[in-house]
Structure formats: C-alpha cells, structure tokens
Amino acid sequence: MTRTRYSTVAIGLHWLIAAAIIFQVILAWRMDGRTPQGFALIQLHKSVGISILLLSLARLAWRLTHRPPPLPAGMATWERWLAKVAHIGLYVIMIGLPITGWIMVSTSRIQVPTLLFGMVPWPHFPGLAHLVGPAKTAWNSFGHTGHEVLAWGAYVLIALHVAGALKHQLFSRDEPVLAHMAPGAKPGRWFDPRLIAIAVVALGVAAAAQTIRPAAQASKPLPPPPVVEVAAVDATSAPPPVVEVAAATPAVQAPAEASVWTVSKGSTLGFTTTWGGQAIEGRFDRWTADIRFSPEALDKSKVSVSIDLASAVTGDSQRDESLKGGDWFDTANHAKATFTANRFENTGTDRYVAHGQLALRGVSRPARLPFRLQIEGDKARVSGVTSLDRTAFGVGQGEWTKTDQIPADVKVNVNLTATRR
C-alpha cells in the first residue's frame, strides 16, 4: 500500500518543531542581554533551543527508521531534488543552530549556566567549558559565526520550503503534498481549513514570541551568611590586651597598642547596585579580616581584609556564575580583592574613616571606608558603607563599561561584630 502521509509521530514532531522555530527566531530578534528583560529572553531562547535540539534528534532517528510517503509522480526531477536538498538543509538547521548556540554560550566570557526553563540544569558543551585563552575565543567565534550563518540559512530554506508547500497546495490540484503533513488537506483549495489553521497558529506563535515577557529572575532573599573565616593571627606576636586608661591621665599613660580582634560569625560584607532600575543586593560569603584597632592607638591600627571574589552571591545562581566571568570579577585571574587600611581618622563620637588601598581585578586604588564603631568591653560592633566606582577597577567589561543599565557607583557595606583577643 502506498503511504499517503507521514506517520503521526513524524507529523506531530514536524509541527511542534516548526512552531518552536518560529517562536525562537522572533524571540532572538528581541534579545539584548544588557537589560534584565533581555537577559531573561536569552535564557528562554536557550531553553527553547535545547528543546528543539532534543526533539530534532528524536525526529531524525524516527525519519531514518520510518519511510516517508513518496512524492507525487508528476513532480519534475529538479523539484524532487530541490525538495530533498531543502529537507536535508532543514535538518542541518534544526540540529546545527542549537549546537552552535550551545557552543557559543559554553565558551562565552560571561559564563552564564544554562537552566532549562529555570529548572533543569543543562551542562556546557562537552570538552569546551574549561578551555581558556585563544582556544576558547576561537570556539566562541566559531559558535557565533555558525549560529549567525545558519540563522540566515534558516530564513532562506524555510521561505523556500513554505513556498514549495504552498505552490503544490494552491496550484497543483493533483499533487497532494500538504496532505502528507496535514492529512485531509485538499490540493487546489485556497481556503483549506488545515492551511488556515497552520497560518493562524504560525501568526499566534509569532505574536506570542513578540509579546512574551518572561519574568526577569527575581533575586531570592539571600540565605543567612556562613561562618566567616578569620585570618589566623600569630598569637605570639599579638600585643597584650590594651588596658583602657582614663582619658584624664594621658600624660602618664604608656603608649597604647592596638587591640587584635576576631570577627564573629554572622558578620557580613555586602554590596548593592541596580540593574535596569531593579535593585540587586549581594554579599561575599568568604572573606578574612586581620584587625588591629584601638581608638586610643589609631596610629598603630591596621586592618587588612581579603575577599574571595568567587563567593559573591546575589540571589540568582545564573547571575552569580556570570559574576565570576571575564566581564566581571574575572576570578580565574584575580581570585581575591584586598583592602588594606593603615590610616584612621576620628570624625566624631564613635565615627571613623579608614583610609587605605583597595586591590581589585588587578587594579589598586586608594579607597576609604567611613564607619561607626561601638566598643563595649571586649565586644565591638562596626557598621560602614562606602561607594566604589566599579569602572575604575574594570569590573564590567565590553558592553558593561556603559553605565546606563548598571551604574558605575556600587555601594559596599560592612556589618561586623568582633571580640577582642
């Protein structure tokens, strides 16, 4: 018996994939990763694209094990060849486009992990994630160029494919081609219900892709901070605890030494900024602080803080991963930032300013931290906020050097409690 249509599985996969590709292309035209909305659109594009890859591989396997219906006998040889080449080309598009997209995001400087539909973790392309230097750049431009070229190929082939299907449907009364994929379609009928349904669904999918506004991943509230690791200070070199001497007797007072402090658990080192107007609150979960400080011995006080930049969390794992990348902290080359202060100024009751150097991402610049300090016996409470110009340290490369989406000024806040040793 001659087959007059594709199998139900082949038909289902054809229309599902066709709809997904229309959606995917329209979505791609709206993507701009610099805005929170654009970033969310890229994440959706990745999820839909990987789904197309899996469906297309299943479809190819099905195709290779199930014979299609024969083409109408009246078709010219050149038409048969064109149909064949176009079909093979469409398989190359359906599989090649997602693979090149996958290669592109797996070798990107931004290092955003793929979480399909915000739920299912998807790995980077095997063997490419850990590349560095020129090899990584080469694969990235291969992925990028390949994706762009195949996207153009898709426009041409899909137009040709649809034109071919329409030609047979509208003008060739005795060549039932659309009926192969849309059983029941009568060739020669312009207002065939199946043809109208296909057009309506295609327009609906395009409109959905044009208007969908995937929720820009809202930051989850940050979990409580882990125990802060405190730098070990050599006990033998630690000065003895300072004896607080009444201010009225400075003349007989021995020269004061700075106390050594141990930072208590629950202390935080945070930062705040905005992205496209949306507030982002972040925190470093691993940092160490070596603190020698006494209000009576400001000249002998010294504070040194070392921050593990890979420990930055902002309540969104995809964003946190990209913060480590070359465009932001570049932790592969600059794992730590350090702030060293050795000049302290008393600016009012319990108020001080620490002056020092901040080394971040290979740039060292003067930085100041105004803070409030309250000491009760052997316990101290410190809170301070300062503002840093991220662009001065190269935090935010490429498009991110622009400050329209993420301002240059980032607020850094410190809240710690410490115990005198």
Q: Footprint of ligand HEM on this chain (CB under 6 A)?
A: 14, 17-18, 21-22, 24-25, 28, 31, 42, 45-46, 49-50, 52, 63, 68-69, 71, 83, 87, 90-91, 94, 97-98, 101-102, 104-105, 114, 147-148, 151, 154, 158, 161-162, 165, 177-178, 180-181, 198
Nearer to ligand HEM, 28 or 323 (CB): 28
CB of 258 to ligand HEM, least distance (A): 52
383-389: Cβ within 8 A, 24+ apart: 383/413, 383/414, 383/415, 383/416, 384/354, 384/413, 384/414, 385/411, 385/412, 385/413, 385/414, 386/411, 386/412, 387/411, 387/412, 388/358, 388/412
CB of 269 to ligand HEM, least distance (A): 33
Q: Is 322 helix (H, G, I), strand (E, B) or coil?
A: helix
CB of 122 to ligand HEM, least distance (A): 8
DSSP 33: T
Nearer to ligand HEM, 257 or 327 (CB): 327
Nearer to ligand HEM, 57 or 392 (CB): 57
CB of 60 to ligand HEM, least distance (A): 8
CA-nearest of 412, 273, 397 to 330 is 397
CB of 213 to ligand HEM, least distance (A): 18
Residues 9/55, Cβ–Cβ less than 8 Å? no
Nearer to ligand HEM, 143 or 295 (CB): 143
Which parts of 164-267 are beta strand (E)?
259-263
Nearer to ligand HEM, 198 or 216 (CB): 198
Provide the angle, in degrees to the nearest 10, between the axes of the packed helices 8-29 and 36-65.
Answer: 160
Nearer to ligand HEM, 402 or 411 (CB): 402
Nearer to ligand HEM, 42 or 242 (CB): 42
CB of 323 to ligand HEM, least distance (A): 18
Nearer to ligand HEM, 96 or 270 (CB): 96
Residue 151 corresponds to which tokens in the numbers above?
């996207």
Q: What is the 3-state secondary structure (H, E, C) of 326-358?
A: CCCCCCCCCCEEEEEEEEEEEEECCEEEEEEEE
Residues 25/151, Cβ–Cβ less than 8 Å? yes
CB of 420 to ligand HEM, least distance (A): 53
Residues 126/58, Cβ–Cβ less than 8 Å? no
Rounded-to-integer distance, Cα 298 and Cα 346, Å: 8
Residues 320/289, Cβ–Cβ less than 8 Å? no
CB of 260 to ligand HEM, least distance (A): 50
For the purposes of burial, counting CB atoms within 10 Å of the CB of 278, is it exposed (0-12), middle (13-18) or buried (19 or more)?
A: middle
